Amino acid sequence: MTTTFEKRSIGLDGAQRIIEAAFREAESIGIRIAVCVLDESGVLKAFARADGSALVNIQSAQDKAYTAVGLGMASHQWYPMIKDDPALLAGVVGAIDRLVIFGGGVPIKVDGFLVGAVGVGGGSHEQDRQVAEAGARALQAAPA
């Protein structure tokens, strides 16, 4: 019987690369964001908020990242899964603390391991998804 296991986590350098890439993407589409990177356990690793970004974007970014790391799937994938089940649609949101069912939260996987997640708040859910995905791609493109 195995009594321990190994897990991997995003490092600070990787988290900062994600934030920088997210800010570049947000600037290119003209939005002011808050961006959050969580480690594999859902603990805050890095965070930044653009000057002029709304206060509510802080919680939005964190909850989107929490959804992505907690379930190992992007936050935008939730709605299509539950939209045709009225009980699930009405019951899941609010019943599961911090669950977000729209774009902006993306899990970060390295070599098949879930190492964290990035969450973005500040634009439409499509823009937040675009920015979060750009951030996640920056880690994949970075040297190990």
C-alpha distances in angstroms, 109 versus 46, 52, 73, 116, 139?
Answer: 17, 31, 10, 7, 9
- Give residue 11's pLDDT: 96
- Give residue 122's pLDDT: 98
Of 73, 47, 77, give the one whose Cα is nearest residue 61.
Answer: 47
| Total residue length of the chain | 144
Identify the structural domains of the chain with CATH numbers, from first to last.
Answer: 12-141 (3.30.450.150)
- Give residue 93's pLDDT: 76
- Give residue 143's pLDDT: 55
- Give residue 40's pLDDT: 97
Q: Under a CB-based contact definition with an 8 Å cutoff, are residues 25 and 135 in contact?
A: yes
Three-state SS letters, 75-110: HHHHHHHHCCCHHHHHHHHHHECCCCCCCCEEEEEE
In order along its 144 residues, the chain shows pLDDT tens digits of: 889 988 899 999 999 999 999 999 999 999 999 999 999 999 999 999 999 999 999 999 999 999 999 999 999 999 998 889 988 888 887 778 889 999 999 999 999 999 999 999 999 999 999 999 999 999 876 555
